Amino acid sequence: MSGLSRFLSVLRCFTEAKANWTVPELAEAIGVPASTVYRTVRELVAQGFLEPSTEAHYRLGSAFIEFDRMIRLTDPLVKVGSPLLRDLVAEVRHPCVAVLARLYGDRVICAADERYDGAELPTSYERGRPMPLTRGATSKTILSQLPGRRLKKLLADADADAPAKLSGELAAIRKRGHCITRGEVDKGLVGIAVPVSNSELAISASLSLVVSDATLDERLERRLVLLLVSAADLLSQALRRLA
Amino acid sequence: MSGLSRFLSVLRCFTEAKANWTVPELAEAIGVPASTVYRTVRELVAQGFLEPSTEAHYRLGSAFIEFDRMIRLTDPLVKVGSPLLRDLVAEVRHPCVAVLARLYGDRVICAADERYDGAELPTSYERGRPMPLTRGATSKTILSQLPGRRLKKLLADADADAPAKLSGELAAIRKRGHCITRGEVDKGLVGIAVPVSNSELAISASLSLVVSDATLDERLERRLVLLLVSAADLLSQALRRLA
DNA sequence: ATCAAATTATCGTTTTTTGATAATTTATTG
DNA sequence: CAATAAATTATCAAAAAACGATAATTTGAT
């Protein structure tokens, strides 16, 4: 373990399940002597990535909040997309969650989301939560835009269950311009996604709406696809203006 | 330069003013050979802290979004405070911004904020933005809770303009239980802050409201102080329950 | 003030980083 | 599609930093 990964092995211990760690616990968990972890933690605290918590415990530090703000202020997709998501859910006038997602290593991450006022959809998609690469409209729509070589390498690492079936689906998305999946991510929910890309900014993302399966009839589905296509168009235009 | 600071010297280059960097630019800016920066950037990209942007440029990566979510999910102050801020601004029924802030190195950072629906106050306080340690009600209220030795060291490093005056003000905050400052941070705005602390969780923070000076009469001011005190009380109770 | 636990300091050894340069890959353009 | 330039990675010996066992110190709670 060396370089950055030394620090990440500590930071990745801090999860929802266990958000408070002592140094001996960390040392045990990552299999490294405590004296080394004391040094590592000291550096992380000095830079604000960890902070002292209750008696000899540590928690994630505010530096992440600071850098997250910098992303909100500067990332083209987030900056341009966030206000657009607000407009989108307002136009939908139906319980839904709108999501802007992008590739994140071998997964997909939601970079911005917006909930229709008061909607109580139990969706897994949530800003900052990594999601599987090959399931759901949001992810598949991102994959459908990747250049062949990149896609092949990604899928090889992720060893998808049915690569042939998947590549057929991706071709269909490229052809139709959108993707609809039912219950692939969350039971009882439907995802409708359209591609968002800008090669100049090296962005390949997707814009999606999650709605309850039970309340979605054909008419509404058509309307949502249209709204998404038009929102994605606006988004692409705005991105082009930034580039 | 070594350890974590090697990576931070790169990450800190990414600002609102310049959010896109090439490796040679970074090398020039931090005074290190390009071959070294190529290696550093490669590690940061591998961990998701940077990502490739338009032609040979890099921008901040989604890992910050992921860790920020982890903070929202696990940090006691943020987790408990965020819904409380929403309730607070709703009860205020007056254009305002509510802010939860804490110490962040030699500055203060806003860890959660909430804007009264539609309020257009041009306030500097914003989630994730570091603010000066010795100016404004939000910061002074945090300082007023620190143990003497800690405070002295902080102020020594920050070399405050008028330490005597400041320590008088801090004593007054401890006595009154709140702090009101006018135009110390933003011209034409007033900050009203109350302390939030929980020694078990090693939290010393402040809860504040920012309102326009012009619209604030004595009656409203009294009401806001009362609302803040009661919200801080709820917050402290909730924190105690967590500990 | 005392005690236990947490944290930092020490130091020879081992490992990693460094930076100049060469080799390779990638993107662009005629 | 070849040619070119730019970006990126690989190489390698010297220099620097990290390691980890242990000792010393600090901190926090009686």
CA atoms of A8 and A2, how far apart (whole Å): 10
Per-residue pLDDT tens digits for B7-62: 999 999 999 999 999 999 999 999 999 999 999 999 999 999 999 998 899 999 99
CA atoms of B217 and B225, how far apart (whole Å): 12
* Pairing verdict, β A97-104 and A203-212: antiparallel
- Specify the CATH number for the domain of residue B54: 1.10.10.10
B109 and B204 housed in the same domain: yes
For A22, the domain range is: 3-65
* Inter-chain Cβ pairs, chain A and chain B, closer than 8 A: 142
**Of A33, A65, A97, at which residue does a domain stop?**
A65
In a domain, A232, yes or no: yes
Give the number of domains in chain A.
2
DSSP chain B: --THHHHHHHHTT--SS---EEHHHHHHHHT--HHHHHHHHHHHHHTTSEEE-STTEEEE-THHHHHHHHHHHH-HHHHHHHHHHHHHHHHH-SS-EEEEEEEETTEEEEEEEEE-TT-----S--TT-EE-SSSSHHHHHHHTTS-HHHHHHHHHHHT-S-HHHHHHHHHHHHHHS-EEEESSSSTTEEEEEEEEEEGGGTEEEEEEEEEEGGG--HHHHHHHHHHHHHHHHHHHHHHHHH-
In a domain, A59, yes or no: yes
B61 and B81 housed in the same domain: no
In a domain, B121, yes or no: yes
Per-residue pLDDT tens digits for A53-109: 988 999 999 999 999 999 999 999 999 999 999 999 999 999 999 999 999 999 999
Per-residue pLDDT tens digits for B218-235: 999 999 999 999 999 999
A22 and A87 housed in the same domain: no
A47 and A114 housed in the same domain: no
A33 and A89 housed in the same domain: no
B148 and B211 housed in the same domain: yes
**Of B45, B65, B85, at which residue does a domain stop?**
B65
b/e map of A10-38 (b: 16 or more CB within 10 Å)? bbeebeeeebbbbbebbbeebebeeeebe
pLDDT of residue A159: 63
Q: A63 to chain B: which residues are within 8 Å by CB?
A: 104
* Cβ pair B69:A127 closer than 8 A: yes
A102 and A165 housed in the same domain: yes
pTM of the model: 0.96
CA of B222 to C1' of D14 (A): 69
In a domain, A233, yes or no: yes
**Percent of all residues in chain B with a pLDDT value above 70, rounded to a whole number:** 99
**Percent of all residues in chain A with a pLDDT value above 70, rounded to a whole number:** 98
A13 and A124 housed in the same domain: no
In a domain, B227, yes or no: yes
pLDDT band at A118 (very low <50, low <70, confident <90, very high): confident
Q: How far is CA B101 from the centre of its chain?
A: 5
CA atoms of B53 and A201, how far apart (whole Å): 6
Q: List Cα–Cα distances, B153 to A43, B146, B157, B163, B164, in angstroms.
A: 19, 11, 6, 12, 15
CA atoms of A144 and A158, how far apart (whole Å): 16
Nearest to B69 among A7, A70, A126 (CB): A126
Strand C lies under 7 A from the Cβ of residue B148: no
Residue nearest to nucleotide C18 (CA to C1'): B36
Per-residue pLDDT tens digits for B63-112: 999 999 999 999 999 999 999 999 999 999 999 999 999 999 999 999 99
Q: How far is CA B119 from the centre of its chain?
A: 20
Nearest to B243 among A54, A67, A201 (CB): A54
Q: B14 to chain A: which residues are within 8 Å by CB?
A: 70, 74
pLDDT band at A160 (very low <50, low <70, confident <90, very high): low
pLDDT reading at A158 higher than 90: no
CA of B56 to C1' of D5 (A): 14
Are the C-beta atoms of residues A129 and A159 closer than 8 Å to each other? no
Strand C lies under 7 A from the Cβ of residue A147: no
In a domain, B70, yes or no: no
A138 and A171 housed in the same domain: yes
Nearest chain B residue to A112 by CA: give it.
B65
Q: A47 to chain B: which residues are within 8 Å by CB?
A: 4-5, 8
pLDDT reading at B157 higher than 80: no
pLDDT band at B208 (very low <50, low <70, confident <90, very high): very high
B141 and B194 housed in the same domain: yes
In a domain, A70, yes or no: no
**Of A65, A83, A118, at which residue does a domain stop?**
A65
| DSSP state at residue A206 | E
B163-171 mean pLDDT: 88
DSSP A155-196: HHHHT-S-HHHHHHHHHHHHHHS-EEEESSSSTTEEEEEEEE
Strand C lies under 7 A from the Cβ of residue B1: yes
- Specify the CATH number for the domain of residue A185: 3.30.450.40
A108 and A205 housed in the same domain: yes
In a domain, A13, yes or no: yes
Q: List Cα–Cα distances, A43 to A40, A48, A114, B79, in angstroms.
A: 5, 9, 36, 26
B82 and B169 housed in the same domain: yes
Strand C lies under 7 A from the Cβ of residue A54: no
Q: A74 to chain B: which residues are within 8 Å by CB?
A: 14-16, 19, 59-60
| φ, ψ for residue A19, nearest 5 deg | -105, 0
- Strand D, nucleotides < 7 Å from a protein CB: these are 6-11, 16-23, 28-29
B183-193 mean pLDDT: 97
